Structure 1
Amino acid sequence: MATIVLSLRTGEEMVAKLDQLAEATERDRQYHLKRAVARYLEAEAWHVHSIKEGIADADAGNLSDLESVKAKWVKRAENSAD
């Protein structure tokens, strides 16, 4: 698989933290940046997917009325107080 070079501008403080992490783990900046970007993309993809699922549910009419949602949370709060 071909690799593509990306670049970003950031402040000195972030670079210093990245360098400290790299030194402490005996890994280079690139290793940590790739891991950070991968984790971010995974989390954001999950978020976008979940929103799309919610919209599809709403479009299909799979909705809960506000009063039943409130009752559920009140009951849960009462049970957790025990």
Structure 2
Amino acid sequence: MKSSTEKPMTVRLPADLADQLEKLIRATGRNKSAITVAALREYVEAESWQIQDIEQGIAEADRGEFASDSEVSSFFAKYGG
């Protein structure tokens, strides 16, 4: 019996991705669910971080927290660009 904390999901994969997944399963000895869950966790974490960072930037902009022209010029003078 499956844990009540797990939910089944059906996904259609492009053939090339399905083939790569099968090769990874054979090479690592891990099962399809373990590999898929690990990949999705990593993706969701990265996307969540980016969304949070964007939302923080928008909130700062809404509060009027911008770099001045001289701060921007100093940054580019120091780091190039």
Q: Could you state the TM-score of these two structures normalised by the residue count of structure 1?
A: 0.82
The aligned residue for residue 44 of structure 1 is: 47
* Gap runs ≥5 in structure 1: none
The aligned residue for residue 15 of structure 2 is: 12
| Greater percentage in helix | 1
How many residues are matched? 78
CA RMSD of aligned residues (A): 1.8
* Gap runs ≥5 in structure 2: none
Name the CA distance, whole Å, in 1 between partners of 2:44 and 2:29: 24
Show structure 1 runs of 4+ deviating over 3 A. none
Q: Could you state the TM-score of these two structures normalised by the residue count of structure 2?
A: 0.83
Residue 2 of structure 1 deviates from its aligned partner by 2.2
For residues 1-82 of structure 1, the aligned pairs below 5 Å read 1-77=4-80
